[in-house]
Chain A
Amino acid sequence: MSDSALPAPQAEASARRAFAPDWGMRILGILLIAYLFYAASQLDLGLGRFITGLGEGGRFLARMVPPNFERWELLLEGLLESIQIAVLATVVGIILSLPLGLLAARNLAPWWVSGPVRAFIAVCRSLHYVIVAIIFVKAIGFGAMAGVAALVVASIGFAAKLFAEAVEEISMKPVEAVRATGASAMAVLIYAVLPQVASRFVGFSLYQLDSNLRNSTLVGIVGAGGIGGTLFAAFKRFDYDFVSAILLAIIALILLAEVISGRIRAAMR
């Protein structure tokens, strides 16, 4: 009857299940949809509210064009300060993240080292950088110093975590081989661990620079230096044409940074 030499099946194929039904996922999906409707009704979100909002938005947008670049000196000063904050915070943050990332990697460090270091990194990541910036402004006063400090904390939260994850994914075979030659722990690190993660580390660092540039434009709003302060002041004075000039400048800066870091990443491969 059948063309195969295998023994006859014990039951008809239609009576057997090839894939088990996943009731847990189905129930979870239904619950999620129900919660979305509930939350939207609680927050008074609806089409009506959105359409009223659009009218306001139109008037606001009309006042933003054309962008006003008359105060370009103020704009440039703010932008340069933001760039300085971002670069300083990234370099300091990455330098601190390197050892922290290695100590947090569970395949290299013993648990009683990696555990506390992971906890420290998690704390750095848990608070939003604007909240950290507010704390630093209160602690060490207004200005770029607070912005740099806040972004260093944010950089550690992300870069050290990514470093640790990259280190945990390395192949342990070369590590074992280099250890077997009698190399010290530092030599094992330099010869067997870092070569495996170096290019990813550079990628993460460039990514961190990108996101610090973006973030540095915001810390000024809470008084921690950079273009954000200028932007916030323009908002408060209803100088919407200057606001749009600042926003365009920020967009140009971020795009430029992405193009440059993309080029560097491509060259690294």
Chain B
Amino acid sequence: MSAALDIRGLTKEYVAGKPVLRNLDLSIGAEGITAIIGPSGTGKSTLLRCINRLVEPTKGEIRLTGAEGSIDVAKLRGRALRLARRRIGMVFQEYNLVERLSVMENVLCGRLGYVPLWRAWLRKYPEQDIARAFQLLDAVGLPEHATRRADALSGGQRQRVGIARALMQRPDLLLADEPTSSLDPRTSVEVLEMLTNLAGAEGVPVIINIHNVALAKRYAKRIVGMSGGAIVFDGKPEDLEDSHLSQIYGGEDWL
């Protein structure tokens, strides 16, 4: 099984001389969920945002391999960058839906990297896109909500739309940045369950930033622990012990 994502020597400095990510190496397989855990401010979000270049990496290589071949995302610009971004789906902590658009329009945002502008403007999407959007809405449990406005949905429903939007891209890789941190415990489990199942069915590897260690152990097949901008643990969920958690988060009174 080849790697879907191969990160080499990734460094990010928002302020020169103060790296948030320190020369980071990470390889993600072509399937399954990888959970990244670590304290707030340790660069988990920065890492995900470097992968689709919402944040500019300072240096390093980010090699994405998929159906359309292998590219170094870190070096792309303009149109080439947009073509790479459409291969990478992203799910956000605060859903980041366009509140004033309908659920269907939000899901179809996932095709904006593919369809010509006039089609997007006039809402004349290809039939197979509409059909897939309905399939995804059924799959995330929102079959009746296509024409509702996104701001009429609950948090859990919005995150389901967010997942449908990301999968609408038919991505080679799915990034999820704290997808459950704004949700209640039960909804968190439901959303993660759905994300796991759908990504598994589509064969898309997922990288997920998550604060809840118990959920990470339950859904991920691999856990990456970050601290101070570097990877300090990388292994199977069952191998993650209190000593590792103490190393990742510091202290041990909370354990």
Q: A180-B88, A187-B120, A195-B100 known; A173 and B94 CB under 8 Å?
A: yes
Give chain A nearest CB distance to B164 CB in angstroms: 12
Contact partner of B52 (CB less than 8 A), chosen from A178, A180, A188, A198, is A180
Residues of A within 8 A of B29 (CB): none
B165 at the interface (CB under 8 A from A): yes
What is the bound-complex CA distance between A195 and B120, given in angstroms? 13
Chain A, interface size category, equals 20 to 34
The interface stretch among B4-12, B106-114, B221-229, B244-252 is B106-114
A182 at the interface (CB under 8 A from B): yes
B99 at the interface (CB under 8 A from A): yes
B83 at the interface (CB under 8 A from A): yes
Contact partner of A180 (CB less than 8 A), chosen from B90, B94, B98, is B90
* Prevailing SS type, chain A contact patch: helix
Contact B90 A177 (CB under 8 A): yes
Contact B117 A195 (CB under 8 A): no
B105 at the interface (CB under 8 A from A): yes
Residues of A within 8 A of B109 (CB): 177-178, 181, 183, 191-192
B16 at the interface (CB under 8 A from A): no
Contact A195 B54 (CB under 8 A): no
Would you give the 0/1 interface string for A178-219, flagging 1 where the beta carbon is closer than 8 Å to chain B?
A: 111111101110111001101100000000000000000000
What is the bound-complex CA distance between A184 and B246, given in angstroms? 44
B101 at the interface (CB under 8 A from A): yes
A77 at the interface (CB under 8 A from B): no
Contact B98 A190 (CB under 8 A): no
Residues of A within 8 A of B110 (CB): 181
Give chain B nearest CB distance to A249 CB in angstroms: 40
A29 at the interface (CB under 8 A from B): no
B254 at the interface (CB under 8 A from A): no
What is the bound-complex CA distance between A3 and B252, given in angstroms? 36
Closest B residue, CB atoms, query A180:
B90
Contact A195 B101 (CB under 8 A): yes
Residues of B within 8 A of A183 (CB): 82, 109, 112-113
Contact partner of B113 (CB less than 8 A), chosen from A173, A181, A195, is A181
Residues of B within 8 A of A199 (CB): 100
A174 at the interface (CB under 8 A from B): yes
Contact B96 A181 (CB under 8 A): no
A176 at the interface (CB under 8 A from B): yes
Contact A184 B117 (CB under 8 A): yes
B160 at the interface (CB under 8 A from A): no
Closest B residue, CB atoms, query A191:
B109
What is the bound-complex CA distance between A186 and B117, given in angstroms? 8
What is the bound-complex CA distance between A199 and B101, given in angstroms? 12
Contact partner of B121 (CB less than 8 A), chosen from A173, A176, A190, A195, is A190
B84 at the interface (CB under 8 A from A): yes
Contact B100 A177 (CB under 8 A): no
What is the bound-complex CA distance between A180 and B53, given in angstroms? 8
Give chain A nearest CB distance to B161 CB in angstroms: 11
Given A177-B162, A182-B113, A184-B112, 11 more pairs with CB closer than 8 A: A173-B94, A177-B98, A178-B98, A178-B112, A180-B52, A180-B54, A181-B109, A183-B109, A184-B82, A186-B117, A188-B112
Q: List 23 A-B contacts (CB under 8 A).
A: A173-B92, A173-B94, A174-B96, A176-B54, A176-B92, A176-B96, A177-B96, A177-B162, A180-B52, A181-B85, A181-B89, A181-B112, A181-B113, A182-B82, A182-B87, A183-B112, A184-B112, A188-B112, A190-B117, A192-B109, A195-B100, A196-B99, A198-B100
Q: List chain B positions with a Cβ less than 8 A from chain A.
A: 52, 54, 82-90, 92, 94, 96-101, 105, 109-114, 117, 120-121, 162, 165, 169
